[in-house]
Every structure is written in structure tokens, then in C-alpha cells.
A and B are shown apart, each in its own frame.
Chain A
């Protein structure tokens, strides 16, 4: 059974600081997704990672994938308040899609 572990679950950081969210998964994956969800809102797709070593960047967010380690990271650079949200990774494999529990990020001035 595909399992996805995301950590930390809660992250409070100051503006301007860097931090990384981790997403580990248990079995071979076809694709890995990162999503953002604002409170009471829907999910917004951030990145789709398809292959080992894939790295994608958008603004202050950068995602990477290591399929051998079954690990993806979402790195936040010089955080700003607008990045406050819950971030989910999701792993697709064998006709299944499993989400991590989410990381609730709060960026404080």
C-alpha cells in the first residue's frame, strides 16, 4: 500500500528565512505533486515532478524529487507572508493517489 509521510506538519517561520518541507513515500511512484491550499479554499497545483532528479522552481518555491530515496522536498527561500498556507504533497502510483497530511506554514513578520 502506498503511504506518504510529510513533515513537518506545522511550520512557523519568520519572513526572510529559508526552510524545507519533506515528503517521503513508500513505493514506486509515477508522479509526485505539490499543492497549496489556503484556508477554506480549494487546492492549487504548484509542481508536478516526473523523474528522478527533477527540480522545478516558481518564485520562492523549489521542488525536487529523488526517486531512489523516495523523497521529495519543497524548499522555501526568503519566506514572505503571502506564502502562509497548507502545502500538500501527493504521490501517484499503481492507479492510486495518496496525499500527505499537509504542512501548515505560517510566515510571521
Chain B
């Protein structure tokens, strides 16, 4: 497997523009996570999905952010309109759910990240 795939790897845009980040999880994983990393705030969980259903989006900073997972192999994180304070590295990660009977620990595998700069 190629691992978690994210695109684009870098994005530079102007304030007010719409930004769409994409993620392809590892095949078979039933959890997908979106994170943001900044120097000021560190790593933050934005939202996560289980079997394509959003479970917790309390980390989404505001209504300008939205995430979807239309199928098991694709997810998007959209920012509309973008602002300079959204500049960060956005990571997508996927995992199997934890299952003690199957000895599945729920290790998350991270994608390479999208480095977003909003001017």
C-alpha cells in the first residue's frame, strides 16, 4: 500500500479564496482523521470519521471549515473563505478501529501533509 496520500503537498492562495485539501486513506482503514499543525497551537485534531460518518467535529475552528468523506477512499477538507491565520500544515491520518479481541491497537498512519500558506 502507498500509505495515506494527500494532495496538494503545497498550496499558496490569497485571502478569501476557497481551498480544498484531499486525502486518500490506507485501503481497509475505517477511521480517518484531519489534523492541523502550527507553531503557535501545535497539533490539533479537527475532525474524524468512522466508516465515512463524521463522529466528532468539535475541533473544527469555525464555519469556514468543512470536511466530507463521500466514500471509504476519499476525504476533503475545505476552507471557504480562507484567511492568513489558516496557514498551517494539515495532516490526514487513517487507522483501523481499536479491537482488543483482534489485537488491533488503532495505530494511526499519517499522510505527508499539505503545507498551506494564505497570503
Question: B-contacting residues of A (Cβ < 8 Å)?
Answer: 30-31, 33, 41-45, 48, 50, 88, 90, 95-102
Residue pair A31, B56 in contact (C-beta under 8 Å): no
Chain A residue numbers with a CB within 8 Å of B55 are: 95
Give B95's nearest chain A residue, CB to CB: A45
Chain B residue numbers with a CB within 8 Å of A95 are: 55-56, 58
16 A-B pairs, CB-CB below 8 angstroms?
Answer: A31-B98, A31-B105, A42-B91, A42-B112, A43-B93, A43-B110, A45-B108, A45-B109, A48-B106, A48-B107, A50-B98, A88-B43, A95-B55, A96-B59, A97-B33, A97-B45
Number of contacts between A and B (CB, 8 Å)?
A: 47
CB under 8 Å from chain A, chain B span 72-108: 91, 93, 98, 100, 105-108
Tell me the complex Cα distance, A42–B43, Å: 12
Given contacts A31-B98, A50-B105, contact A96 B45 (CB under 8 A): yes
Residue from the list A42, A44, A48, A101 in contact with B113, Cβ < 8 A: A42
Tell me the complex Cα distance, A95–B33, Å: 12
Residue pair B105, A43 in contact (C-beta under 8 Å): no
Chain B residue numbers with a CB within 8 Å of A48 are: 105-107
Residue pair A96, B110 in contact (C-beta under 8 Å): no
B interface, size bucket: 20 to 34
Mask: chain B, 36-58; 1 = CB below 8 Å from A; 0 = not: 00000011110010000001101
Check B111 for interface membership: any CB of A closer than 8 A.
yes
Tell me the complex Cα distance, A99–B100, Å: 23
Residue from the list B42, B56, B98, B111 in contact with A102, Cβ < 8 A: B42
Residue pair A31, B106 in contact (C-beta under 8 Å): yes
Tell me the complex Cα distance, A90–B108, Å: 11
